[in-house]
Structure 1
Amino acid sequence: MTASRNNPIVAENLKPGTLSWLPERQRFTPTMSYDETPWARSDRDSGRSERIEGWCSQASVTAGDSLQVFVSMAPAGEFMLDVFRMGYYQRLGARQVMSAGPINGIAQPDPSPDSERLMECAWSASYEFSIPADWVSGVYLGKLTRVDDGTENYIVFVVRDEREAELIVQTSDFTWQAYNGWPTSYSLYSNGGPDPYYWTEVAVSFERPYLPAWSTAIPGTGEFFVWEFPLTYWLEKMGYDVTYCSNLDTHLGTAALSRAAGFLSVGHDEYWTVEMYANVRAAVDAGVSVGFFSGNVCWGAIGLRPSASGREDRVFSRIDRFGEEALLARYPADHPIGAQHRAQPVPGDAPDEGQLIGAKSAVPWTGCADWACSLPDHWVFEGTGMAAGDAIPNLVGHEWHGHPAEDIEGLEVVSRGTTHDPSLGPGEYTATVYPGPKGNVVFNASTCWWATGLAQPPGYQRPSFQDMPSARPDARVQRITENVLSKMLASRA
């Protein structure tokens, strides 16, 4: 079964596209106080542009909702707001849906960190608008441009809907925010010191701009362009009937997973709430297929709370590690990992992520590898021409899943191999498939980099990790993805 060619996504992508969404003039602060982590920007720019930067009042909106945009400009001036829906659009990657301005902008204050190192902006709204009824669900990019000198920055948000569709694509924005160090080094990994794996009582807020943690990121857009955009671009090119949601929608239930044949986790989807886990588990049990085209999924459990402004679910901190009991059983108290996780304030409440995904993150949990064929006769490899041992170069990274679940009936390891990390040494990734109870399937690609093998849209720079590059577009990755999606759609036919 192939994707339908008569759906709102096909109609949307026939509309005129544009390249004007691409960055043309960005100015970054040249120095930074930023942890020397493996993901830090190598060019030593902070990724911050104090000349213009902003954030949105909501991560996800629907038609009729009001969205506030908070912008700071130093010095004060006027700016334009141009909004684009990201997709295929005749290879151009986006369609412009709105332009507003000139809008007055002011210099707004940086917050002071509290005892949790929480940085939460108490800014006044610069612009507000209602989401039009004809905006098709998708990931939307807002380009902020200073009128006086053309300096640019970005905001990002999801428009969701309630219609039935073939596939629901989830953005991994909880993880984007966990790695957001704005204004300097205030991520969920920052303790103000050199430890890149800090794991205790810190909190982060959506009420601030995104600071790029990767040199391939477009400022203000989290990790969407690092891990996720190639899959969005490819799905819409292929004409799949897709709709979009944020991590928060999966948490709240507003994603309404049962309306689709398949739910897709994409890229670096590390931070989940226990409610997210329960909602996806319930969807699988009800017959929804899941594609984990992602790595490091369900590593950290987070707890959400309101911001100081009173907006719900805008601040979070770690409260647990999924599969904590199994992890602690593997690492004694005197092991650095065991000691670190035993220091958590709320241990043992989150379920084992492997029971949902099919495998779980495994130490050393970072590293890169070729994605090898382990079961050449499996339907996953149909039409790829791959024989046992054939491998797709550089498709595994920079984080992945190992330790396949041992007690899921019918689970198969379709790909297995040794990962390499110059700092942490070798590991073993495992990609898996298992059947759901109603003909549905759960596929685990076991890599953050899966989408890099699907497409290279305009403006996209392939990520790398410790000088190890990610995959290029490969017909075998495209065919495997088609096979998985076809299986999902067939289960609901």
Structure 2
Amino acid sequence: MLRRLLASAVALFVAVGAVLFVDRAADAAAANITITATQASNGTTTLTYRATVLKAGTIREITMAIPAGTTGRVTSVNGTVSSVTRTVLRWRPSRVVNVAVGARLAIPLYGLRLPTGGPWTLGFKSIGTAGQVITSGAGVLQPLKTYTAAVAVRATNPIPAQTTNLTYQATVTRAGSLAAVRMQLPTGATGTYTTINGTLAVSAGYATWKPKAPLNVAAGARLAIPVNGVKLSRYGGIMTLTVSATSTTGTVLSSGSAAVPFIAPPAEMPVVAESGRAPIPAGCPEAWPTTAAENAKPGTGDWVIPQASSGTMAAYLTQVSATCGDTVDLKVSSGNPVNVVAYRMGYYAGLGAREVWRQNDVPTVVQDKPTTGGTSADGKPLRMTSAAHWTKTLSIPVDNDWIPGTYLIKISDGTASTYAPLTVRDDTGTKHALLIQQATTTWQAYNNYGGVSFYSGLDTGSGRLTFDRPYNEGQGSGQFLTLEQGLVFWAESKGLDVTYWTDNDLDQYGGQLKSRAGTIFLPGHDEYYSLRMRAALSQAIAGGVNVANLGANTAYRLITFTDDTRRAWDIDRYTDGYNSTTWRYQGDAYASQPLLGAEYICPVVGNTLTTGTGWIYDGVPNGTQLPGFIAGEVDYVWPGLYKQPGLTTVASGTGACRSNGRAAPMHITTYTAPSGARVLNGSTFAYGCFLVRRCPSNWAVPAPGETSQQAVAAIVGNITEWVSRGAINVPADTTAAQVRVTVPKYKLQTSTQP
């Protein structure tokens, strides 16, 4: 056994040089000493010393220096090895070895474990039986070259849901007889796999390649194993795939992993025809007053329903939106005479609304209870809650007094009151600077009036929802007062050229978006999108329409309107349970991030946003604290989803997921589409409620103070000017518009589910 070696190689060379080595430079050069190192399959190193014989004779012994710190169990061939010192080994032949001048000696030493460092200058001396020096000199041993697996996986077509050929590459780190290479396949991959120069077996998400016969591979050899015909899952991402090569004895010859991006580009969308507009009805104007002119009219605070006035009264309208010339039916359940008053929502010197129409002492009945039931065409329970059977209470004519805008119809019987929301479109053909969308499909998804909402138990919630029933939230206003009134109040306080429509209108008239507005605002929580809605928004961006999503969790769930009336819509909760309701279930190409810039992560408790620098914070001091602004739900940029070219995070913060308490990043993003359209994703629900300092009462966030309101008003102004490419000039002010009436804070129906 070799004793542990401690002395330095340089010391050995100096100590033994005068005694063991010839000192003539010419002789040393003629000896041509070389020392090479190779790694054995067991991890040890073999040193091979070579030298040219300078004097004929019979070899008695050969002494060889080794690096200080070398360990191991050393053996050789055709002779025995022993220690002279800690840094010198002696080899003696096991038989008589006669050598002639010019012969080349080669002495291998097996089983060494070299220290780190090098290179080392090591002496070599062969002594004859007569004591003569047969050859002598020194050679340089370079450090043993070590290798990392350096795994890489190449894909000819790394697009989810498509077929690709993968090549798994790895460097051999230990020599041996290669018997198998085990390769991890992308998650969810399928296919009819083929390879070359061997066989391929696939099991449990791995492909194992075996050569036709064992292959001897040296350390440093590069493996490249093709796996062809891989059908990728529709879900991609940045996947870490492992590769492991083993020998015939099970020794690992190479092992490692590589991150491989499988990123789906935005999904192709169908073309949404613009379709023609109906002629302007008789008595309706060809153009409407400006926002400033409208808001100069006297406002009123009478639209507000005090919290104490809420009761069992309920009402709904038979249309989600209307235009001048339409008639909308109202259905009320009360049993008492009621006053019905239509209020246009806006600024109106801080009062928030203007009375447009009323009818007093309207008789009502106590309507029958809503029904819940229904089945799909394939027999699935829909659990749709409907009040479609209610009798009509009143018909409301929408005439030229109804300036396009968002309306709350207030119904009161002297004891109880409720709202019924209505959006009035501008269908004159006028193109406005800004269009604000109302998230009516999302209001309905969270509406549990009369029985069941989408969220009334994940397994028992509705598979079909209808607008033929009152809203249970916001005293009948849906999520308008909690999340959306603030945007309306702010835009009209600034006198912006603004118009309005709903999710239902995006589905019906989405092809007209480019001709209706240069910029569209999406509200705080606009989650439920049909194919036509998504296609229309995508088409509008491609056509140059700017989008500011002042919310989060947008276009997250896929719905299908049941008919052209758009009074009901289906959501598939049966194919794969809760998962199948999402757009992303269609594949990563359908995620929100490829469309808007960021993707939903989770619902959060209210967290503080600290302002920084950059255009989005112009006019807001750096370091301003906005307690509770990261609230409701948040989006962030997922690494494994498609990022639009030039995607930029302009602001960020952190929330805490309600479901598990873990930190959730929030990213406000921007990008510019090839059309020139600018797209911003706001990634939090809180913009609208901060603009009126009235966030949902169950958010557990501080009531926004005046400083917070002013800061968010400045941020929204900056967003508006940036996203519109300067086409919308937001008047600056030092005091954000204040609501002069007291409006109750409402709870918001929420879900902790992703």
TM-score range, shorter chain: 0.7 to 0.9
Shift of 1:154: 1.3
Counterpart check, 1:420 vs 2:656: yes
Counterpart check, 1:411 vs 2:647: yes
Alignment size in residue pairs: 424
Shift of 1:484: 1.7
Shift of 1:423: 4.0
Counterpart check, 1:318 vs 2:577: no
- Relative distance call for 1:145 and 1:344 in structure 2 (3 A) is closer
Cα distance in 2 between the residues matched to 1:152 and 1:61: 23
- In structure 2, the partner of 1:482 is 717
Cα distance in 1 between the residues matched to 2:385 and 2:363: 25
Counterpart check, 1:467 vs 2:720: no
Identify the match of residue 351 of structure 1 among 560, 572, 590. Answer: 590
Spell out the pairing of 1:32-47 with structure 2 (5 A cutoff). none
- Relative distance call for 1:466 and 1:395 in structure 2 (3 A) is closer
- Relative distance call for 1:484 and 1:344 in structure 2 (3 A) is closer
Identify the match of residue 415 of structure 2 among 140, 147, 150. Answer: 150
Q: Deviations over 1:255-281 (max 9, x none)?
A: 832131210001111111121111111
Amino acid at match of 1:319: D
Identify the match of residue 495 of structure 2 among 239, 254, 263. Answer: 239
Cα distance in 1 between the residues matched to 2:711 and 2:522: 20
Cα distance in 2 between the residues matched to 1:139 and 1:365: 28
Q: Deviations over 1:179-225 (max 9, x none)?
A: 00012x4111114xxxxx5587622211011102xxxx3x1100000
- Relative distance call for 1:158 and 1:343 in structure 2 (3 A) is closer
Shift of 1:318: 1.8
- Relative distance call for 1:340 and 1:229 in structure 2 (3 A) is closer
Identify the match of residue 367 of structure 1 among 605, 622, 644. Answer: 605
- Relative distance call for 1:26 and 1:315 in structure 2 (3 A) is farther
Contact 1:228 1:266 in 2 (8 A): yes
Cα distance in 2 between the residues matched to 1:172 and 1:120: 20
Cα distance in 1 between the residues matched to 2:322 and 2:581: 37
Amino acid at match of 1:186: V
- Relative distance call for 1:345 and 1:245 in structure 2 (3 A) is closer
Q: CA RMSD in A?
A: 2.7
- Relative distance call for 1:433 and 1:198 in structure 2 (3 A) is farther
- In structure 2, the partner of 1:36 is none
Amino acid at match of 1:279: A
Cα distance in 2 between the residues matched to 1:429 and 1:89: 34
- Relative distance call for 1:429 and 1:320 in structure 2 (3 A) is farther
- In structure 2, the partner of 1:211 is 472
- Relative distance call for 1:353 and 1:340 in structure 2 (3 A) is same
Give the alignment's TM-score, normalised by structure 2: 0.53
Cα distance in 2 between the residues matched to 1:60 and 1:128: 14
Larger radius of gyration: 2
Amino acid at match of 1:16: P
- In structure 2, the partner of 1:395 is 629
Cα distance in 1 between the residues matched to 2:484 and 2:328: 23
Counterpart check, 1:436 vs 2:659: no
Spell out the pairing of 1:8-407 with structure 2 (5 A cutoff). 8-24=290-306, 26=308, 49-50=311-312, 52-73=313-334, 76-114=335-373, 115-121=381-387, 122-146=389-413, 149-162=414-427, 163-183=430-450, 185-191=451-457, 197-198=458-459, 202-212=463-473, 217=474, 219-253=475-509, 256-258=512-514, 259-306=516-563, 312-319=565-572, 340-341=578-579, 347-348=585-586, 351-362=590-601, 364-373=602-611, 376=613, 378-386=614-622, 391-404=625-638, 406-407=642-643
Cα distance in 2 between the residues matched to 1:415 and 1:346: 25
Contact 1:119 1:204 in 2 (8 A): yes
Contact 1:365 1:401 in 2 (8 A): no
Percent same amino acid at aligned positions?
A: 27
Contact 1:287 1:440 in 2 (8 A): yes
Q: Which sections of structure 1, spanning at least 5 residues, go unmatched?
A: 1-5, 29-48, 192-196, 325-337
Cα distance in 1 between the residues matched to 2:341 and 2:293: 22
Shift of 1:479: 1.8
Cα distance in 2 between the residues matched to 1:344 and 1:88: 36
Q: Deviations over 1:38-69 (max 9, x none)?
A: xxxxxxxxxxx33x211001000000011000
Secondary structure of the structure 2 residue equivalent to 1:481: helix
**Which one scores higher on RCO, CA 8 angstroms, separation ≥ 6?**
1
Contact 1:172 1:268 in 2 (8 A): yes
Shift of 1:312: 1.5
Cα distance in 1 between the residues matched to 2:686 and 2:441: 18
Cα distance in 2 between the residues matched to 1:436 and 1:78: 55
Give the alignment's TM-score, normalised by structure 1: 0.80
Contact 2:339 2:412 in 1 (8 A): yes
